[in-house]
Structure 1
Amino acid sequence: MASVTDSSTPPAALRRSLGFRDLVVYGLLFIAPMAPVGVFGTLDARSHGAVALVYLVATAAMACTAYSYAQMVRVAPQAGSVFTYARKGLGEGPGLIAGWMAMLDYLLIPAVAYLFSGIAMNALVPEVSRWVWTALAVGVTTLLNLRGVRAAARVGFAVLAMEVLVLLVFLVSAVTVLVRDGAQRGWLSPLTGDGSLGFSLAAVLGAVSVAVLSYLGFDAIASFAEEVTGGSERVARAVLFCLGLTGVLFLAQTYLAALLTPVSAAELAADPALQGPAFYNSVESSVGPWLHDLVAVSKAIGAAFAALAGQAAAGRLLFAMAREGRLPRALSRTSGGTPRPALLVAATVTLVAAVWAARRDDGLDHLVSVVNVGALVAFTLLHASVIGWFVVKRRGGAPHWGKHLVAPLLGAVVTVAVIVEASWTAQLVGAVWLAVGLALLFVQRGRTGGDPRGANRGGPGAGPGGGPGAGPAGQGAGGDPPVRDTRPGA
């Protein structure tokens, strides 16, 4: 593990070069503007046809998590996201566990996205094995990430523009068909159910537990807090804006797709094989095969660049944990302001997982079943961090009970409920990963007497005396670190 550093050694720093648009691009890339496409049929069946209502409720539920991120990024505008926030609000031990659990999500979600890309490309060019396409997607996006966050953001913006354009084509085409031919279901059915199974609030809430997984990725924005110009307020606004925008996009596309779907929710529930391609079948039957193919190609390219954003976030998390002594210190090195060793480790783990899954018929099922529990545990600790910092420690002055207690409590209820609803496999993998993290915490505390960084180390946010909340010159408690803007002309 990392050795203790001398207090005179300055902590590694990242380069500030990202603007508000870049943050939103990374968030939207990771989530994917058409994320509901793959789970539309499942949610339609589970919710008894009220799939748009599911996403309306899910957006409101995840808003609590986004709000907690916005609160804590102002307290600790540093790389590491929930790892850093849990350290601030709950202490070193919970911080390690939060980072450790988030790492499971950040390393495996890109693997799933790369596999999606490989499967889609293999369907278009079946002569090339899907594991080859998967490995190629990993290689191309890793090279972009190694070139630096700005280069990746530029290419990512072009891919995101393509995805948004395809989504707009679908929206316009769907509205045209509905005006010309009418709807297959009642106009309010996406919000009230299609009547084939009857409205059930329990069914809607059960579907919400699946739908919230479509939003995973907006939290990656917080990982770039040390690389944004304009301060932590810009990061907070980007997190909230990204969640709000995706919520609107998800609601619009699922509402229209439900109106165009010729089969009922009861038929989808009776034949699970129809659920996976339900969105594509709806588009093909109502608009035409050309839109089916266009959406498929967009998803193939978009998945690879969703993985790019996830890989970048994973690299920042490994970098931050290594800088604080929780992982080997070699991972905290930077080159030109880019955490290249951490990125390479993240890419290697993701490559192995993605190629392994691509070479197995059941590989996708294995990956999908375990990717979410880590993030949900980390989200729960994030909500606890808000309460710990503002209510228990009262470090932000008198707490605002709505923002600092009610909202995070509601968010924690949602994340815990989704964990309970997760598959047995996901819960088992999450429990094993948590046990390893607890063992790591125990070993590190035994070696360092409770402080993995050593008593004399002054890390980010530690002042000359090393006391909590004391910042270096020019930085107050929880304030933005004084990292120089290195953009040309700055």
Structure 2
Amino acid sequence: MSTTDGIERFGYRQELRRTVGFADLVFYGLIFMVPIAPFGIFGTAFQISHGMVALAYLVALIALMFTAWSYARMSAEFPMTGGVYNYAGRGISAPVGFLSGWMILLDYLLLPILLYIIAAIAMASIVPAVPVWIWLLVFIAVNTVINATGMKMTIGVIRLFIVGEMLVLALFLVLGVSAVLSGKAEFSFDPIFNPGEFSFGLVLGAASITVLSFLGFDGIALLAEENRGRAKQLGRAMALALMLAGLLFIAQTWVAALLVPDPEALINADPSVRPADQQLLDNAFYNSAEVAGGSFLFTTCALATALAWGIADTMVAQVASSRLIYAMARDRQLPRFLSKVSVRFAVPTNAIYLAAALSLVVGMTVFEFAGAGPGIFKLLGITATGNSVGFLTSIINFGAICSFLALHVAVIWHFVFKKRSRRLFSDLVIPLCGLGVLGSVAYFNSAPAQFTGLVWLGIGLIILIGLYVAGRKPTLTRTLDEQGDSFHAAPKRHA
């Protein structure tokens, strides 16, 4: 690895172990996105898009390809963990970086909870006798043990899950296409474009849900200090993982949409009026799988969702959240003890334990997990198996989109205004396209999610003001000479 790709030039000491190669980065991004991610939210996406679920995934893919480009530009410029927190902080200013990190922290903290819920729903359809909160404890314990023992173990488990998920997906696609060809369903282009139902608001609203399936490609940037290759391969890995996942998502949702037993019933499902409709939404993909391959494929897809979302995806989500917490703590924008790194395993153990504890506490108190407590959402009329899944999805996506918007602004500000870049297509046009598409998706997000996201942003602003009052204003090690574009020696900062 070139010394110019090291973090020493930014004033930090290399403490995390560089064991992750290009293929590992791609696998990490894929498993974070989950190749079978649409299984769990297919019903909601189908309903909101009025059946054009494949188009909703295509729009989300296009939007995030612009974002992947901006990530690639900034990850090559600042090859360190922290992702958008560091990119916005160094590209614009430290306070903006703090708020960007704070917004995407909403994504990384709530995403595992959502994944646990969807996994629990899937497991409940297979083993209803086991309480949901038991599955929560099992999933959290397994993930924490794996992550605390180092990235080598985590990468090994990731590869195993990728193989398993791809086998299940291949089985569904083969049986699904065979079912269409045999006449069990009629082939149609409606899942990708239905002129009788299409509207920009409809598709962008659905894309605000399907974006969830792609969240995770950005987690590759958080492994910058564990990447053993050149910094530029982070961007290449993001783009490849995103494209592969997008093609898989479009293919499986297209086939599943053709096999939906009763499309009108799914589109018109209203759990608030007919509680039984929630099961119709939750099991929409599995019902399509049953049309293709009977009860065997229904159970196989449900079990695969439970394991993929409950272990594989939450495991890498815990990695991402712990690296973000570690990066912010290293800069004293979170309590310093969270930057402690295990000498034996070279991972931020305290940050990992905090991420696990938050998942446990929030999961047991916010949602009504089989008698684990009344749940805040229940008091608001939202149940764990009700529309809390769609609501949480919208909140997570809104937080991520806000941070991605900051990323695009950071690219423009850093390269065009500060470095006077002449690469206007890559450093201005593409980020502006990303801003436009993502801004439209955020606009058509649900109003409650927008309100919750803005409340979270307000809390971040209060904390930011508190840091200034306490004399701990956000600062990042600045080694770049803004005038001469050269690097100065910076004092070592021990994490």
TM-score, with normalisation over the residues of structure 1?
Answer: 0.86
Cα distance 1:309–1:390, how it changes in 2: closer, same or farther (>3 A)?
A: same
Residue 42 of structure 1: how far off its partner (Å): 3.1
| Cα displacement string for residues 158-203 of structure 1 (whole angstroms, at most 9, x for unaligned residues) | 012111110011111112222222633x43222232x7x5444443
Residue 12 of structure 1: how far off its partner (Å): 5.9
Q: Which one of the candidate residues 76, 79, 97 is aligned to 2:78?
A: 76
Cα distance 1:345–1:468, how it changes in 2: closer, same or farther (>3 A)?
A: farther
Residues 315-464 of structure 1 aligned to structure 2 (within 5 Å): 315-336=322-343, 337-356=346-365, 357=367, 358=369, 359=372, 360=375, 362-363=383-384, 365=388, 367-394=392-419, 398-448=421-471, 450=473, 452=475, 459=477, 462=479
- Match in the other structure for 2:38: 36
- What amino acid is the match of 2:332? G
CA distance in 2, matches of 1:312, 1:90: 26
Cα distance 1:190–1:363, how it changes in 2: closer, same or farther (>3 A)?
A: closer
Q: For 2:395, what is the secondary structure of its paired residue?
A: coil
Contact 2:176 2:293 in 1 (8 A): yes
- Match in the other structure for 2:273: none
- Match in the other structure for 2:168: 166
- Match in the other structure for 1:299: 305
CA distance in 2, matches of 1:145, 1:472: 35
CA distance in 1, matches of 2:236, 2:337: 33
Please, which moves more after superposition, 431-440 or 174-183? 174-183
- What amino acid is the match of 1:462? T
Contact 1:135 1:355 in 2 (8 A): no
- Match in the other structure for 1:313: 320
Cα distance 1:118–1:192, how it changes in 2: closer, same or farther (>3 A)?
A: closer
Contact 1:373 1:419 in 2 (8 A): yes
Contact 2:147 2:315 in 1 (8 A): yes
Structure 1 segments unaligned to the other structure (5+ residues): 1-8, 454-458, 475-480, 482-490
| Cα displacement string for residues 259-300 of structure 1 (whole angstroms, at most 9, x for unaligned residues) | 222323x44322342443222212212321100100000001
Q: Which one of the candidate residues 101, 117, 135 is aligned to 2:119?
A: 117
Cα distance 1:10–1:281, how it changes in 2: closer, same or farther (>3 A)?
A: closer
The answer as to 2:276 corresponding to 1:288 is no
Cα distance 1:376–1:468, how it changes in 2: closer, same or farther (>3 A)?
A: farther
CA distance in 2, matches of 1:330, 1:201: 47
Residue 392 of structure 1: how far off its partner (Å): 1.3
Structure 2 segments unaligned to the other structure (5+ residues): 1-10, 271-276
Please, which moves more after superposition, 119-128 or 432-441? 119-128
Q: For 1:40, what is the secondary structure of its paired residue?
A: helix
The answer as to 2:203 corresponding to 1:204 is yes
- What amino acid is the match of 2:351? A
| Cα displacement string for residues 403-451 of structure 1 (whole angstroms, at most 9, x for unaligned residues) | 1112112212233333333333322322222112112222223343755
Residues 214-253 of structure 1 aligned to structure 2 (within 5 Å): 214-253=213-252
CA distance in 2, matches of 1:296, 1:388: 45
Contact 1:319 1:332 in 2 (8 A): yes
Contact 1:73 1:236 in 2 (8 A): yes
CA distance in 2, matches of 1:299, 1:205: 25
Please, which moves more after superposition, 16-25 or 36-45? 36-45
CA distance in 2, matches of 1:294, 1:110: 22
Cα distance 1:393–1:225, how it changes in 2: closer, same or farther (>3 A)?
A: same
- What amino acid is the match of 1:382? L
Contact 1:117 1:301 in 2 (8 A): yes
- Match in the other structure for 1:478: none
